[in-house]
């Protein structure tokens, strides 16, 4: 069952647990709609992204999460308790789409990673890779606005040293202005394609501007989990 109280308790736990290990900087929070349907669309560089981004929005986020996470019954119960729901990757998951539509119709914020999974380097939208079509299609069907978001630094938490005392990792969460959904009239496919390019450019722009203005050093920029763990 969907539980806002569950989400609130989960968010409070994440804040308390992560505080000794993460120095979180949130930019553009005023761009997050306080109420109403919204699709949150961030880049994806680590498994820590959903909780770190979620506690930065100021409102509950119903994350569309990969179905593999729901195979463990305990983890599945926890994820559902905080509002997340499963989606199959590499296929059209109609059940997940119906759930997302229902959540948006209830005025909730639905979190979807438009890259379709963890991405770094040339495969990442941050380096110019194209987005998957899911977010554009969902926005077109529901006419919900899309909130571009960039996250930087969360992948550093894969390094064991980040969990030592006094070694807090710096994480930036940046929200852009909400984008109107692609039109449902005329050439729908062309509208979705144009929207995907627009959204990708907005996410990339948030990332590049923050790196430049905050002076983020190269070692804090996205790397693969294997490299962060010292295995590559």
The token pair that represents 139 in the structure block: 């926005």
Alpha-carbon distances of 202 from 53, 130, 156, 175, 190, rounded to whole Å:
17, 12, 23, 10, 18
The secondary structure element, H or E, covering residue 51 is helix 49-57
* pLDDT at residue number 4: 65
* pLDDT at residue number 165: 80
Q: What is the pLDDT along the chain (232 residues), one digit of tens a residue?
A: 455 668 888 999 899 989 899 999 999 999 999 999 999 999 999 999 999 999 999 999 999 999 999 999 999 999 999 999 999 887 788 999 999 999 999 999 999 999 999 998 889 999 999 999 999 999 999 999 999 999 999 999 998 888 988 888 999 999 999 999 999 999 999 999 999 999 999 999 999 999 999 999 888 888 877 777 765 5
Residues 26/125/218/152 CA torsion (nearest 10 deg): 20
Global confidence as pTM: 0.93
SS3 for 6?
helix
Domains within the chain, CATH numbers bracketed: 4-228 (3.40.1130.10)
Alpha-carbon distances of 27 from 30, 54, 80, 107, 220, rounded to whole Å:
8, 14, 28, 24, 17
């Amino acid at each position: 069952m969907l539980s806002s109280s569950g989400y609130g308790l989960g968010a409070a736990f994440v804040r308390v647990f992560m505080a000794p290990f993460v120095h979180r900087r949130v930019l553009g929070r005023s761009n997050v709609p306080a109420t109403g349907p919204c699709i949150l669309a961030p880049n994806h560089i680590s498994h820590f992204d959903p909780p770190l981004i979620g506690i930065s929005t100021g409102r509950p986020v119903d994350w569309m999460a990969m179905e593999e996470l729901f195979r463990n019954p305990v983890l599945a119960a926890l994820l559902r308790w905080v509002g997340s729901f499963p989606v199959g990757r590499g296929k059209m998951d109609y059940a997940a789409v119906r759930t997302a539509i229902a959540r948006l119709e209830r005025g909730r914020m639905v979190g979807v990673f438009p890259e379709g999974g963890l991405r770094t380097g040339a495969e990442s939208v941050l380096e110019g890779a194209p987005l998957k079509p899911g977010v554009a299609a969902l926005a077109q069907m529901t006419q919900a606005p899309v909130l571009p978001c960039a996250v930087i630094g969360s992948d550093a938490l894969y390094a064991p040293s980040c969990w030592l005392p006094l070694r807090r990792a710096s994480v930036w969460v940046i929200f852009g202005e909400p984008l109107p959904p692609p039109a449902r009239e005329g050439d729908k496919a062309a509208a979705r394609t144009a929207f995907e390019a627009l959204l990708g450019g907005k996410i990339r722009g948030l990332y590049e501007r923050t790196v430049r203005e905050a002076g983020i050093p190269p070692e804090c920029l996205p790397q693969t989990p294997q490299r962060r763990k010292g295995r590559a």
